């Protein structure tokens, strides 16, 4: 008996093969149905994205200040967003966000209720405001005042109020020219003052407070260490809880105190409470001006002075 064979399509292997004449070919699936489904899906995506774009895009308006020409170089996106138009430079002012306002030349405001009123200023965050020329405010409710040109306020409620000031940290404040406040609730209010650490404060010119809760409150005063305090002019307090309260005083050591003018307290808990006095050693105290103490009323120490033998 003659056997007759034929060529059929094998979907399992994706190729043609030889089989008995009684075998049935399943054939290729039509690509037309696939094409139709793809077209429908793509069309649905395009139409839905268009609907989303139409629903999410709300153009703002251009604002031309009095005395200036109406320019075209501005971008305002968001409900009641406003961008300055008083220059013809492309992209001169950019406001993006609900009620955002970029009213300074070349300014940028990004975020709901953000405002950049200074020229070339940047406001980034909800209710961020940069009012000084070339100022930067970043963070919710951060602010650079109109006096704070070239300043940087970064952090929630961070604030600058003088030129070239820098405030970094939530609720930090840099209020003096060239001042730097770094840390949550830190404050540098003196010119060229520096406050580093949470709740640190440098309130006079050239004052430096370094450490959590440290305070430098007089001109050229320095407080280094957590909760240290320098309250005298040119005074230095170094150590946790140390305090230099007299003018030109020095307090070195944890909990040391130098409250007299031109006094020195050296050691843990040492206290120089009178003018021109020196307390050396842990717990040492002075009770009269122009004295040197190496102990206190209860702690006695020997002071050895070695002299050369002739």
Could you tell me how far CA 242 lies from the centroid of its own chain?
Answer: 29
Answer yes or no: is pLDDT of 256 > 70.
yes
Domain borders along the chain are: 57-159, 175-230, 235-297
Q: So what's the pLDDT on residue 284?
A: 93
CATH number corresponding to 57-159: 2.150.10.10
In the three-class reduction of DSSP (H, G, I as helix; E, B as strand; rest coil), residue 137 is classed as strand
Written as six digits, the tokens of 133 are 């020329």
- Gap between the Cα atoms of 194 and 208, Å rounded: 5
Q: What percent of the chain has pLDDT over 90?
A: 64
Q: What is the pLDDT of residue 298?
A: 80
- Closest by Cα among 191, 189, 184 to 212: 184
The confidence score (pLDDT) of residue 32 equals 46
H/E stretch holding 43 reads helix 31-56
**Correct CATH for 235-297 of 1.20.140.160, 3.30.1130.10, 1.10.1740.10, 2.150.10.10:** 2.150.10.10
Per residue in 107-156, pLDDT (tens digit) is: 999 999 999 999 999 999 999 999 999 999 999 999 999 999 999 999 99
Average pLDDT, the chain: 84
Within this chain, domains 57-159 and 235-297 share the same CATH topology:
yes
């Amino acid at each position: 008996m003659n056997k007759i064979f034929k060529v059929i399509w094998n979907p399992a292997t994706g190729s043609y093969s030889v089989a008995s004449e009684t075998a049935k070919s399943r054939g290729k699936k039509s690509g037309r149905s696939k094409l139709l489904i793809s077209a429908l899906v793509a069309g649905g995506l395009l139409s839905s994205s268009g609907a989303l774009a139409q629903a999410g895009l709300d153009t703002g308006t251009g604002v031309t200040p009095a005395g200036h020409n109406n320019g075209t170089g501005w971008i305002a996106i968001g409900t009641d967003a406003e961008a300055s138009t008083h220059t013809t430079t492309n992209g001169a002012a950019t406001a993006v966000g609900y009620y955002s306002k970029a009213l300074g030349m070349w300014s940028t405001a990004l975020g709901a209720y953000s405002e950049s009123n200074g020229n070339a200023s940047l406001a980034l965050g909800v209710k961020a405001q940069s009012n000084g020329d070339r100022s930067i405010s970043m963070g919710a409710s951060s602010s650079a005042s109109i006096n704070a040109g070239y300043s940087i306020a970064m952090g929630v409620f961070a604030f600058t109020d003088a030129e070239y000031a820098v405030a970094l940290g939530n609720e930090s404040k840099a209020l003096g020219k060239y001042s730097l406040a770094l840390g949550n609730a830190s404050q540098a209010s003196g010119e060229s003052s520096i406050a580093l650490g949470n709740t640190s404060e440098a309130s006079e010119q050239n004052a430096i407070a370094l450490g959590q809760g440290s305070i430098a409150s007089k001109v050229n005063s320095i407080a280094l260490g957590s909760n240290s305090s320098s309250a005298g002019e040119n005074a230095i307090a170094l150590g946790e809880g140390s305090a230099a309260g007299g003018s030109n005083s020095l307090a070195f050591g944890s909990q040391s105190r130098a409250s007299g003018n031109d006094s020195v307290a050296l050691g843990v808990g040492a206290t120089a409470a009178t003018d021109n006095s020196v307390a050396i050693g842990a717990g040492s105290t002075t009770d009269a001006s122009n004295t040197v103490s190496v102990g206190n009323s209860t702690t006695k120490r020997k002071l050895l002075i070695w002299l050369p033998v002739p």
